[in-house]
Structures are given as C-alpha cells and as structure tokens.
A and B are shown apart, each in its own frame.
Chain A
Amino acid sequence: MSANPVVDPSISAQRTAAASEPKRILVLGATSGIAEACIRLWASRGDHLFLVGRNAGRLAAVAADAGTRGAAFVNTAVADLDRTEHHGDLLAHAINTLGGLDLAYLALGVLGEQTKAERNFHDAAQIIHTNYTAPVSLLTWLASYCAQRHAGTLAVLSSVAGERGRKSNYVYGSSKAGLTAFVDGLRNRIDREGVRVITIKPGPVKTSMTEGMKGRERFADVDKVAASIVRAVDRGNDIVYVPGQWRLIMAVIRAIPERVFKKLNL
C-alpha cells in the first residue's frame, strides 16, 4: 500500500461542499443491498457517484438507476476488492474521475456460512479477508489521502454482530468486531486532522444478504436504514446504530454475563 497516494495534483480536494452542494461520493461494494439503497438517495439529490463492484452487469444496473434518478455524474469500475494489491490504482482512478472526494462509503462484506466457517479455516479466512483485511487496506490508503488534505468523510458499514461473539455467527461477528475497532481507532487518529470517520452498525436488514433467514419479516426495511445512514453521514455522527433501537439492544446484550450468555442460543 502506497503511503503517497498517486492522485492528479491538479485536483483540489480542498473544495468543501456545503450540505446542499453536490457531493463527490465513492461507493465500494455498490451492489450490496444497503449500499444500493443509499446510492438511490444520493443520486436523487444530484450527487456525483463513483461505484465499485465485482459483477459488471449488476453494477451497470445500479449505475443506470442512479443516473436515471438524477445523479449529476456516475462512473463505475468493476473490481474484486479482495485483491488488495489493486486498491491504490483503483482508488486513485476513482478520485481522479470524481475530481476529488467528499465521502468514501465502504459497504463491501459477506455474511458467509457460519457452519462451514467454524470448521474450515479457509472459509473463515475468506470472511475475514473480505470483511476486515480488504477494508483495512482501502481505509489505510483513503486515510492518508484525506488526512493530507484535511478533508473528507470515511463511512464504514460494520455490524451489530461485532459487538459480542455469539455462537450463531461469531466468524462474521469477529470480522466486524475487528473492523469496528479499526474504524474507531482510525477516527481517534485522524478526526483531529479534519477527516470524519463514521462507524455504521446496522441490525438485521431485509436485503439479499438475509434472504431466507428466520424472523426476516421483522428485520428493518432497507430504505429506512439507508435514510438513517445518509442523514447520519450528513451530520457527521461518530457511531451510528441503524435502526436506532439497536444501541439499546446491544447494550443489554453486552451486559449479559458470559456464564449466562454461553447457555443461550443466540
């Protein structure tokens, strides 16, 4: 990972956008359900978007939707973000195309299959790589870029699953716990440099990731979750639970003594 991001020097990142001015937004993992719902909101208000995803056809559909809804500018790059060695080039290209960066939104992630991952290290390592290692690579680059310019917002999709190891999804949970700790620490390092870093912790949401899960009809609506995220990013909140009641729910779950918790089926 290059410590000196290769970015066209003619581009000024100092342009600070007022809330009403269009923002230059980079979305990493743009075909994820929550990311797409946010993209629709940003597009409707005329923001500039650069979208990165793995599947070309799906990414093109998301981009077409954003363009139709009113995004002032949409461009895409097809990339497998597991390939950390390409991150520097990809991010430089995206920022050059956008003409700067106001917000980077990291939404890459996989749920994986817990039952496989708890027996097979390869499956566990895959989850950890996509959910933790790859975002760390992206954030390291983006943090240097933004810190040098004393501008920008980094919003990262983590999960309430990272708040406590549970038997039903601790591999995924541990990857998100690591991500949360990394993002929180990063904020404590570069907030004073003028870079906002936002940890977003959704509860279970009705997206394709949770298709077929038990109790899904009670999961949060993805459009409402996206509206909360967009609002929180505009405000520059540090840690965001969506929907908000998960802050309380997780406080309760964290308070249960482990000798009781280990007997529960959570």
Chain B
Amino acid sequence: MLYNIHLSIDVDVAMPVEDKSKSLLPFLSSPKLLPDESEAEFESGLQSLLSELDNPSPLAVALVSQLNECLWWIRRHTVDKELLLHEAMARLLSKAGSYSEAYDNRKVSEALEHYLDGSADKDEAAWIDEILAESKLTLSDLRIRAFKDAARHIKMVDDLIHRQHQTIRHLQRSIDSIDYKSRLIKRMDLELAALESKQSVKEVSSLDAKPS
C-alpha cells in the first residue's frame, strides 16, 4: 500500500534567497515522497544543489527544486529496473518445469526477494534452491532469462530515466538563462549609475566653468 507524503519545504530555514518571503515554492505543489523514502535525504539533496548557486533568485530556486525531483525520479527508476528483474525471475521460477500448478507466484516472489537480499530464512532459502534445482537453473541463468523476459519493460524504464536527464538539461539551461539575465540587469544598472554620475559631474563642471 502506498501513501502520499507531501513534502513541506521550510522556505524560511532552507532557502538561501535574498528575500525569503518572495519564494515561488509555496504557490507550487510540492514533490511527494513514497513511504519508504527519506525526507531528510531529499531535502539535503536540494540544499546541496542550492548551495552551488550564488545568491539564486526565487525563480531559480523553484527550478532547482524541480531539478532535485528529477534526480529523485532517476533513483526511483533505477531501483525499478532491479525490481523488474526480480519480478521476471519469480515469474520464471513459478512456472518452471512441470510445477506450474504447484507454486504460488506471490509466495515465490516474496521468497526470492528475501533470498536475493540475503534476508531469507533457512526454509525459504532451501525452497528457492529446490525450485532452482528442479528447473535445472542456476541463479545467474535465471537472471539472464529474466532479463530477456523483462526486456520490454526495462527499455521503458530506460526511456523514463532518459526523459529525466533531458528534463534536467532543460532546467539547467533555464537556470543559466535566469542567472545571465540577472547579471545583465545588474551590469546595466551599474552602467546607468556610472553614466548618471558622469552626467552630474559634467553638469557641475559646466556650472563651474560659466563666468559669473
């Protein structure tokens, strides 16, 4: 069962923005985490990304938050690739040999999951070893066959990861554009101030030069 956990990013504490009341994040929906995911880890990722920016604008902070979510999605999808393999391995085992009626797919799946992460008890491990022996497969053979079996779905997950990379590239270009724009505005402000001061100096000198 999955539950939604809404991340409430504490803008006052977390965001290194000039004026923290001007953050865009309260007006955008927050990224959500799955129940087994660490909120602290998610936020520390965001903070480390933000720390790489020099005085980011509110829009840049909002984009960095989206970028952090993309990185998080890449992690999720990478875990899914392994899960897909496990699913396919369990499917192959449950219908291995002439035992298609004997093995419950869900039970095999759970036992295999424990077996692969090393948390299986003696009975489960013995059971999986027995099924592998009956189906005349080693674990690596099973993995290879499962990879072939799950290839279509693994390709889908690769597409999803590729999409997140593309999204990150878009976000980076947008952040660069905002940074360039703000530097350009600052430079123009400085040039304007310099021109104004020059102008005022000229006016003063022209007043001084006038014969009384």
Q: Do A and B come from one complex?
A: no
B residues bordering A, Cβ < 8 Å?
A: none
